[in-house]
């Protein structure tokens, strides 16, 4: 059974950095696109970043570009989201997602597997 588990969320102050990890189990995701989404309180889930199977292609939402970086270590079957210069508006539940296709996508319905989410709270 495929499982995605996120780690690394927490409470930080504005300007701080945080790194989220997503560990996959049940199968290898080295040929699969992976992504991060987030759901701010009272809002819909939104795209954050995505990475191709090899890690050679990445895309980031405009709201996080230059501050967040997605990466992956296929030997560890793990995807990361490095977040810097955090802002209160980054407060959300962050979800890791995996898809059956190799490439990147910013569309949530293109993803087949989802983690349970990890809370990130940024205080001002």
Task: Place 108 in a pLDDT band, splitting at 50, 70 and 90.
Answer: very high
- What's the chain's average pLDDT? 96
For residue 3, what are its two tokens? Answer: 């499982």
pLDDT at 31: 87
Task: Give one DSSP letter per residue of 15-53, joined into a string.
Answer: T--EEEEEEEESS--TTS-EEEEEE-TTS--EEEEEE-T
Residue range 83-104, pLDDT digits in tens: 999 999 999 999 999 999 999 9
Label residue 69 left, alpha or beta by phi (over 0 means left) and psi (-120 to 50 means alpha).
Answer: beta
Partners of residue 37 on adjacent β-strands:
47, 95
Averaged pLDDT for residues 48-66 = 97
Residue range 20-35, pLDDT digits in tens: 999 998 888 888 999 9
């Amino acid at each position: 059974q495929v499982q995605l588990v996120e780690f690394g969320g927490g409470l930080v102050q504005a300007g701080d950095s945080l790194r989220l990890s997503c560990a996959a189990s049940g199968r290898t995701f080295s040929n699969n696109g992976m992504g991060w989404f987030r759901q701010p309180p009272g809002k819909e889930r939104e795209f954050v970043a995505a990475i191709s199977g090899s890690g050679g292609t990445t895309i980031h939402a405009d709201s996080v570009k230059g501050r967040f970086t997605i990466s992956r270590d296929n030997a560890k079957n793990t995807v990361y989201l490095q977040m810097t210069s955090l802002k209160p508006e980054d407060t959300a539940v962050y979800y890791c997602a995996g898809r059956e296709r190799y490439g990147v996508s910013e569309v949530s319905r293109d993803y087949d597997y989802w983690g349970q989410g990890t809370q990130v709270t940024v205080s001002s």
